[in-house]
Amino acid sequence: MNNTCDKNCEKYKKRQKCPNYIMTSWREEKTGNVKSLEDCAPKRTLMLMQDLFNRVVGLQQANEEQRNKSNDLTEALAQTVKFASQNPGKIFLDLGHKDKVKEIGANHV
């Protein structure tokens, strides 16, 4: 993370008195070094909002992909149940080729 308090800002020289100035400090867990950021609150807020928005978009896309996979599975199960109810005593194996579905009698299983 970089500082968002910009040297080109008219309030930079007196940033300690700027109402938007925030200094954040923390100690790194691995190294024990003290890190600090000088931030302009409105800039940092906008950056964090953009980051969160991008994450939400990514989550939405992942949810849509999972929904589509779930719909495919539900459809396949519905077709299996329909086939089983229309053809009692038979099962079928789909070997990944929709045009090559093999039926096997229940007594061969």
pLDDT in tens, 49-63: 999 999 999 999 999
75 within domain boundaries = yes
Q: Give the pLDDT of residue 65.
A: 95
Q: Which amino acid is at 36?
A: S
Length of the chain: 109
4 within domain boundaries = no
Domain span at residue 75?
15-108
Give how many domains the chain has, as a whole number. 1
9 within domain boundaries = no
Are the C-beta atoms of residues 58 and 50 closer than 8 Å to each other? no
Structure token digits, residue 55: 């994450």
25 within domain boundaries = yes
Most confident of 25-29, 56-60, 101-105: 56-60
33 within domain boundaries = yes
What is the rounded distance in angstroms from the CA atom of residue 13 to the CA atom of residue 5? 11
7 within domain boundaries = no
Q: What does pTM read for this prediction?
A: 0.54
65 within domain boundaries = yes
What is the rounded distance in angstroms from the CA atom of residue 21 to the CA atom of residue 101? 69
